[in-house]
Structure 1
Amino acid sequence: MSAQTSAPTTAVLGLGAMGLPMAARLAGAFPVQAFDVFGERRDLAARAGAAPAATPADAAQGADVVVIAVRDQEQLESCLFGGGVVEAGAARSLREGAVVVVTSTVGVDAVQAVAARLAEQGVRLVDAPVSGGAVRAGTGELLIMVGAEDAAMEAARPVLERLGSTLHVVGPRIGDGQIMKTVNQLLCGIHTAAAAESLALARALGIDLDRAVDVLGQGAAASFMLADRGPRMAQQYEVQEDGTGGPELRSRLDIIRKDMNIVVSLAKKAGVATSVAAAADQLYQLAVSQGLAAEDDSALVTLLSPR
């Protein structure tokens, strides 16, 4: 750990929708070294106060805590151990005693496998998937669900407390955080799909969608996902022929599809029937097959009721 444990040297690997605002948030308090495969994302991190790095290994050089914010298991392993477009993984330069914080939703098996490989070189892992979206990532108001031993958790605590307003240590096992996040995503995925269905129905019956979102948000039908996605779903119908006018991309549809696949797979392994989640999963899969993978997940509503 750095001379002052309250200001650990921190690396952030992955500067996407969540990683970039997290890097910016951390750079306001700690020395931050940041990596992404796309140079323009590294440039944005530099403008936010982070030192851009050409490889994950460069970013992790001398780091006390390495925060990983990537899409899936493949990217997680690539960032740490190299492969694909990444020539030098972070594990190459991680010092003994460093802590890797996985903030991504990648599944139990993935974090456990990575933790075992890191342990061979004396590096600890904190399983800490986050929830709350990009705006909250930038303001340090994330919900963070942690699975980690006490020593690893304490080493990562200054970084986690900078990122999250709500920090829950779910259990001591690597994977406990992923399990809690999977349960969280089951509800998020269902709520988003339900919001899309309700607003598609409202539009088909001639109700103004902005008004519908406002009314629904004040009663028993209210949910975080309706409040967050609802206005963007309404904007989906404002897209003009030149492609302008739609909502900004905040949460890719293929990300929630990936998360719901983890939900269904883990539930099957546990022997728990999750028929509503499975139905939502199929809806997301249909959206991906219809070319909406890279769209904001609010575009789901257009699958149910065309623009």
Structure 2
Amino acid sequence: MTAVAVLGLGAMGLPTATRLAGEFTVSAFDVSAARRELAAAAGVRPAGDPAAAVTAGGIVLLAVRDEAQVRQALFGTDGAAAALGEGGLVVLTSTIGPDAARTLAAELAGSGIALVDAPVSGGPARAGAGDLLIVVGAAAEPLARARPVLDRLASTLAVVGERPGDGQAMKTVNQLLAGVHIAAAAEAVALARAFGLDAETVVATLSAGAAGSFMLADRGPRMAQAYGEHADEVEVRSRLDIFVKDMGIVTDAGRAARVPLPLAAAAQQLYLLGHTAGMDARDDSSVVTLLSPPGSAPTDPTEG
């Protein structure tokens, strides 16, 4: 079977590696020994460093948080790129922005390594079920080689361009909408709470109508939980600092293209407030507590 090395076993990387195991020979590395143990229990061969996970001339799938981690995994001490060598293929599922992906592709090409730019969207549960949206920018030959891996992970695979960076551009547009939708859902839930409405009922009702969105249906229940007895047990499915990073990519791209993005800029401020409040490692749905703290008494804005 095709050998695939998954680098990064976080919220997306672990279900990705698990999904690929069985269909492919999968090895993986993460800085966390606990995450490597979870991968091993799912049939993935754990490795002690990125280079040890790689088969020369094989496929490396990157599922790390940002550009700095991408570069560390590939070019740091015991990095994967040197072990991969000429003829190797890197599948970039992380969101790092178009310019960073193009620079990375050029650097890898100098060592005879091709890059398939394939950022993903959908969250951990959909990664484990092979139900992701994957947007791809890649030339025909490396894409053909990567397609069996991508098809195993995606229910929708959209080839949006022939160059690395094209996939990142589409993901940037995706994150603009996703980030604004989460912020809008948080405002809606906070206002409903001020009216004295039950947050769970609000989320369920709105999700069934024209105001519904994937983000409201997905994050809304966790926003409601933030006001319940189990507020401290909200599951972290997507860390808040991911949207601190991604909305930074969005607003930087808008500035470079001279496209005004007022809603994206406003949403970015909410995530930055969460970062300032020390909420980076919490679920991104927790931004609702910045607008209506759990301990505060609801006040009906229609009165007085």
For this structure pair, what is the TM-score category when the shorter chain's length is used for normalisation?
over 0.9
1:101, distance to aligned residue in structure 2 (A): 0.4
Unmatched runs of 5 consecutive residues or more in structure 2: 295-304
Q: How far apart, CA to CA, are the structure 2 residues paired with 1:159 and 1:46?
A: 19
Report matched runs for 1:85-104 at 5 Å: 87-104=77-94
Provide, for residues 266-290 of structure 1, a one-character-per-residue CA deviation record: whole Å limited to 9, x for no partner. Answer: 0110110100100000111111101
Q: What displacement does 1:116 show?
A: 1.1
Matches within 5 A, 1:221-236: 221-236=211-226
Specify every segment of 5 or more residues in structure 1 that has no aligned partner in the other structure, as ranges.
Answer: 1-6
Residue identity in the other structure for 2:96: V
**Do residues 306 (structure 1) and 278 (structure 2) align?**
no
1:62 Cα deviation after fit: 3.5
Contact 1:9 1:63 in 2 (8 A): no
> What is the match of residue 167 of structure 2?
177
1:237 has 2:221 as partner: no
Identify the match of residue 157 of structure 2 among 147, 150, 167: 167
Work out which of the residue numbers 20, 24, 43 in structure 2 matches 1:26: 20
Q: Per-residue deviation at 1:249?
A: 0.6
State the alpha-carbon separation in 2 of the partners of residues 187 and 161 from structure 1: 25
Over 3 Å counting, the alpha-carbon distance change for 1:136 and 1:63 in structure 2 is farther
Partner of 1:290: 277
**CA–CA separation in structure 2 for the residues paired with 1:28 and 1:209:** 42
1:47 to 38, 41, 50: 41
TM-score by structure 2 length? Answer: 0.95
| 1:250 aligned to which of 206, 218, 237 | 237
* Offset at residue 28 of structure 1 (A): 2.6
Separation (CA, whole Å) in 2 of partners of 1:29 and 1:305? 46
| Cα offset, 1:253, TM superposition | 0.4
Q: Counterpart of 1:292 in 2: which secondary structure?
A: coil
| Percent identity between the two aligned chains | 59
Partner AA of 2:14 in structure 1: L
Pair 1:58-2:52 in alignment? yes
Runs of 4+ in 1 over 4 A off after TM superposition: none
Equivalent position of 2:71 in the other structure: 77
CA distance in 1, matches of 2:128, 2:55: 24
Which residue of structure 2 aligns with residue 121 of structure 1?
A: 111
User: Match of 2:285, as an amino acid?
Assistant: S
Paired residues of 1:11 and 1:63 also in contact (CA < 8 A): no
Distance 1:33 1:291 in 2: 34
Q: 2:285 and 2:227 mapped to 1: Cα distance?
A: 11
Q: Which residue of 2 aligns with 1:3?
A: none
Instruction: Tell me what 2:101 maps to.
Output: 111
Q: Is the 8 A contact 1:10 1:63 kept in 2?
A: no
Query: Aligned-pair distance for 1:63?
Result: 5.8
Residue of structure 1 equivalent to 2:32: 38
TM-score with structure 1 setting the length: 0.94
SS in 1 for 2:27: strand
| Distance in 1 of aligned mates of 2:229 and 2:79 | 41
**1:111, distance to aligned residue in structure 2 (A):** 1.2
CA distance in 2, matches of 1:122, 1:266: 29
Secondary structure of the equivalent of 2:278? helix
Distance 1:253 1:122, change over 3 A: same
Aligned to 2:205: 215
Question: Once the two structures are superposed, what CA deviation does each residue of 1:158-186 show, in whole Å capped at 9, x if it has no partner?
Answer: 00000111000000011000000000000
Q: Is residue 11–residue 59 contact of structure 1 (8 Å, CA) maintained in 2?
A: yes
CA distance in 2, matches of 1:146, 1:223: 24
Q: Determine if contact 2:57/2:87 at 8 Å carries over to the other structure.
A: no
Question: Would you say 1:136 and 2:126 are equivalent positions?
Answer: yes
CA distance in structure 2 between the partners assigned to 1:91 and 1:101 by the alignment: 12
Secondary structure at the counterpart of residue 282 of structure 1: helix
Secondary structure, counterpart of 2:81 in structure 1: helix
Deviation string 1:204-225 (CA, Å, 9 cap, x unpaired) is 1110011001110111100000
CA RMSD of aligned residues (A): 1.1
- Kindly tell me the number of residue pairs found equivalent between the two proteins: 294
User: Given that residues 81 and 89 in structure 1 are in contact (C-alpha distance below 8 angstroms), is that contact kept between their aligned partners in structure 2?
Assistant: yes
Sort the Cα spacing of 1:276 and 1:8 in 2 relative to 1 into closer, same or farther, 3 A.
same
